[in-house]
Amino acid sequence: MAENGVGASVRRKEDYRFLTGKGSYTDDLNVVGQTHAYFVRSPHAHATINSIDTAAAAAADGVVAVLTGDDLAADGIGPLICGVNVTSDDGEPHRAPVHSALAQGKVNYVGDHVAVVIAETLAEAKDAAEKVEVDYGILPAVTDTATAADDDQQQIHEVAPNNQCYNWPFGDKAAVDAAFESAHKVSSLDLVNNRMVTNPMEPRAAAGEYNSGTEEITLHLTTQNPHVHRLVMSAFNQLAPEHKLRVVGPDVGGGFGVKIFRVLRRVGCRLGLP
């Protein structure tokens, strides 16, 4: 075995920078002319957006821009995608509601993204965010897993009757049922798998920079897979062509799946490839 080779508990090469405060996480990056973004989020779990008035916020101290879902749509930025198809028992693909990065006409959970305020300082962005006037039409909320698909529940998405995304059976039901019929003993259990918030210690962050000379966007992200981020932002969201978009995952403070992005859908089809 080579010294420090396979099987050796080599002390980590990355530790010195982390132990001396020299790690470089996304929020540690600062560039000249940097502005700060703060999101206006829905305080309601389920509501229509009747109107958004950004005038007062846009006029507030230090504000560079206040942007909404309409601006996003006008620029042709596509919705967020889900990458994996599951075929339901009716033979149809799973139901996939449109997920705009900034809400368009409706919010569907507390924290949903309504608008973004960009200002010279974070404090100014936060102050201005409070001046964005949103007229909501509050709808009943669905929160319980077990009863979400019941007939009397409020519908969340038109494309998903009974709030069902899919019903996916797998296995030979008849054979299994027959085995149960003839079993010596059947044990059963009802259980809940509790909802968790993953909580890597570094909160998510994004820092974008545009070079108008080269027309290139550089995006530093708390990401577990920068290339796939770039591919999807380019192919599905039309943010910029892949060769004009650089995605960097600098030091990332824990992932555990929350900062992951992957796509299994037919990217090739979307790109018009065979």
Partner 1 sequence: MYSEELVVGWACRKVNRPVKWTSDRTEAFLADAHGRDHVAHAEMAMDKNGKFLAMRVNTTANLGAYLSTFATMVPSYLYAFLLAGQYSTPLIYSEVKAVFTNTAPVDAARGAGRPEATFLLERLVDVCAEDMGLDPAEIRRRNFIPVDAFPYQTPVVQCYDSGDYNAALDKALALADYEGFAGRAEEAKSRGKCRGIGLSSYVEACGIAPSAAVGQLGAGVGLWESAQVRFNPTGNVQVFTGTHSHGQGHETTFAQLVTEQLGVPIENIEVIHGDTSKTQFGMGTYGSRSLAVGGVAIAKACEKLIEKGKKIAAHALEAAEGDIEFADGNFAIAGTDKAMNIAEVAFNAYVPHSYPEGLEPGFDENAFFDPMNFSFPAGTHICEVEVDPDTGVVEIVKYSAVDDFGKLINPMIVEGQVHGGIVHGVGQALLEGCQYDSDGQLITASYMDYAMPRADNVPSFDVDYAPTNPPHNPLGVKGCGEAGAIGAPPAVINAISNALGIKHIDMPATPENVWRAAQTATS
Partner 2 sequence: MNVNGESISGEVEDRMLLVEFLREHLRLTGTHVGCDTSQCGACVVHVNGVSVKSCTTLAVQAEGGDVTTIEGLAINGELHPMQQAFKDNHGLQCGFCTPGMVMSAIDIVNRNGSDVDEATVRKELEGNICRCTGYHNIVKAVHAGAKNMGG
Residue 20: contacted member of partner 2, partner 1, none (CB under 5 to 8 Å, by partner type): partner 2
Binding to partner 2 (CB under 8 A) within 193-212 occurs at 199-203
Residue 23: contacted member of partner 2, partner 1, none (CB under 5 to 8 Å, by partner type): partner 2
CB of 56 to partner 1, least distance (A): 19
CB of 202 to partner 2, least distance (A): 4
Judged by beta carbon, residue 52 or residue 252, the one nearer partner 2 is: 252
CB of 261 to partner 2, least distance (A): 18
Residue 41: contacted member of partner 1, partner 2, none (CB under 5 to 8 Å, by partner type): partner 1
* Contact between 4 and partner 2 per CB under 8 A: no
Written as one letter, the residue type at 107 is V
> Residue holding tokens 């560079």?
64
CB of 226 to partner 1, least distance (A): 5
Q: Are 156 and 165 in contact (CB under 8 A)?
A: no
CB of 23 to partner 2, least distance (A): 5
Residue 74: contacted member of partner 2, partner 1, none (CB under 5 to 8 Å, by partner type): none
> Residue holding tokens 């389920």?
46
Backbone angles phi, psi at 208, to 5 degrees: -115, 145
Alpha-carbon distance of 140 to 125, in angstroms, equals: 31
Number of other residues whose CB lies within 10 A of the CB of residue 162: 12
Binding to partner 2 (CB under 8 A) within 244-263 occurs at 251-254, 256
Binding to partner 2 (CB under 8 A) within 15-34 occurs at 15-25, 27-28, 30
For residue 32, give the DSSP letter: T
CA proximity to 100, closest of 240, 255, 237: 237
CA geometry: angle at 107 spanning 266 and 44, to 5°?
Answer: 140
Alpha-carbon distance of 221 to 38, in angstroms, equals: 16
Judged by beta carbon, residue 26 or residue 108, the one nearer partner 2 is: 26
Alpha-carbon distance of 92 to 85, in angstroms, equals: 10
**Site residues, partner 2 (CB under 8 A):** 11-12, 14-25, 27-28, 30, 199-203, 251-254, 256
